[in-house]
């Protein structure tokens, strides 16, 4: 390779890298990970319930319902259970769009997109 060809090669590689990186941002593709998830701020002065807390753990609670242990709770995997989230539970009292109080899991707040084994349809 000549020096000119080598410079051209590296220039094209650099341009391609920048183009792909900037192109994703311009097309609205968010980076993977927590940055792409929508999040609602916790209500002031509140802390989320710990998933490792004794009651929460025994009920299989997760702030993200997709992390439910489906072997332990096979009914949660059923298509009829697709709308079983804390925000639709009779134990849930909404504080804002993303968080609320649970009458079973306290102290603290739970995610509206969470789930536990004590879930019951809000009437």
Q: Which whole number is the average pLDDT over 72-84?
A: 93
pLDDT at 115 over 60: yes
Q: How confident is the model at residue 35 (pLDDT cuts 50, 70, 90)?
A: very low
Q: What is the 3-state secondary structure (H, E, C) of the chain?
A: CCHHHHHHHHHHHHHHHHHHHHHHHHCCCCCCCHHHCCCCCCCCCCCECCCCCHHHHHCCCECCHHHCCCCCCHHHHCHHHCCCCHHHECCEEECCCCEEEECCCCCCEEECCCECCCCCECC
Q: Is residue 97 predicted with pLDDT exceeding 80?
A: yes
At residue 16, the pLDDT reads 59
């Amino acid at each position: 390779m000549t020096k000119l060809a080598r410079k051209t090669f590296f220039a094209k590689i650099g341009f391609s890298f920048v183009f792909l990186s900037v192109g994703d941002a311009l097309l609205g593709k968010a980076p993977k990970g927590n940055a792409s998830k929508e999040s609602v701020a916790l209500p002031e002065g509140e802390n989320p319930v710990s998933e490792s807390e004794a009651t929460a753990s025994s009920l299989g609670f997760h702030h993200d319902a997709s992390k439910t242990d489906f072997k332990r709770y096979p009914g949660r995997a059923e298509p009829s259970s697709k709308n079983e989230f804390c925000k639709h539970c009779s134990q849930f009292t909404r504080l804002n769009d993303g968080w609320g109080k649970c009458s079973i899991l306290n102290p603290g707040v739970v995610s509206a997109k969470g789930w536990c084994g004590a879930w019951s349809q809000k009437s």
